[in-house]
C-alpha cells in the first residue's frame, strides 16, 4: 500500500520511552517530524524499504539492529507498568490495529 508504520519515541532519564508521535500508518512522503536534533536509532523494516527516507528528512541516524519486536523487550516494559500499577483487566486488554478499517472493508459486502 506504499505506506509505513511509524512512531517516534524518546527515552526518558528513567529509561522509559515517551511517545513523541504516536503509532500511525502514513505515506513516507507525508511524514513530517518536529524533532530532528538528536541521533535517531532506527528500528523496523520501513527504513530498509525506503532507504532514502532518513536522509530526505535530514536525520542523523544509527542502526539499532532491531527489525521486529521481541517478547523479551516488551516484558521489561510490562514489568515496569505492572510495578507502577498501570494495568487493565484481562478482558479489557486489546491489540492496537492501525489498519482495522482497511481489513474491515475487504470483507464481503463491506466495501
Domain ranges in the chain are 4-105
Which ranges of the chain have pLDDT less than 70?
100-111
The β-bridge partners of 89 are none
How many Cβ atoms sit within 10 Å of the Cβ of residue 28? Answer: 17
Q: 48: which 3 cell numbers?
A: 530498509
For the whole model, what pTM was predicted?
0.72
Task: State which fold the 4-105 domain adopts.
Answer: Nucleotidyltransferase; domain 5 (3.30.420)
User: Tell me, what's the pLDDT at 108?
Assistant: 62
Amino acid at each position: 500500500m506504499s505506506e509505513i508504520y511509524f512512531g517516534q519515541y524518546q527515552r526518558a532519564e528513567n529509561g522509559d520511552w515517551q511517545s513523541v508521535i504516536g503509532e500511525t500508518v502514513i505515506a513516507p512522503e507525508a511524514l513530517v517530524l518536529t524533532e530532528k536534533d538528536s541521533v535517531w536509532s532506527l528500528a523496523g523494516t520501513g527504513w530498509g524499504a525506503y532507504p532514502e527516507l532518513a536522509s530526505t528528512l535530514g536525520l542523523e541516524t544509527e542502526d539499532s539492529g532491531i527489525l521486529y519486536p521481541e517478547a523479551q523487550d516488551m516484558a521489561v516494559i510490562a514489568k515496569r507498568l505492572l510495578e507502577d500499577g498501570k494495568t487493565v483487566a484481562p478482558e479489557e486488554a486489546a491489540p492496537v490495529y492501525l489498519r482495522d478499517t482497511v481489513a474491515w472493508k475487504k470483507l464481503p459486502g463491506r466495501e
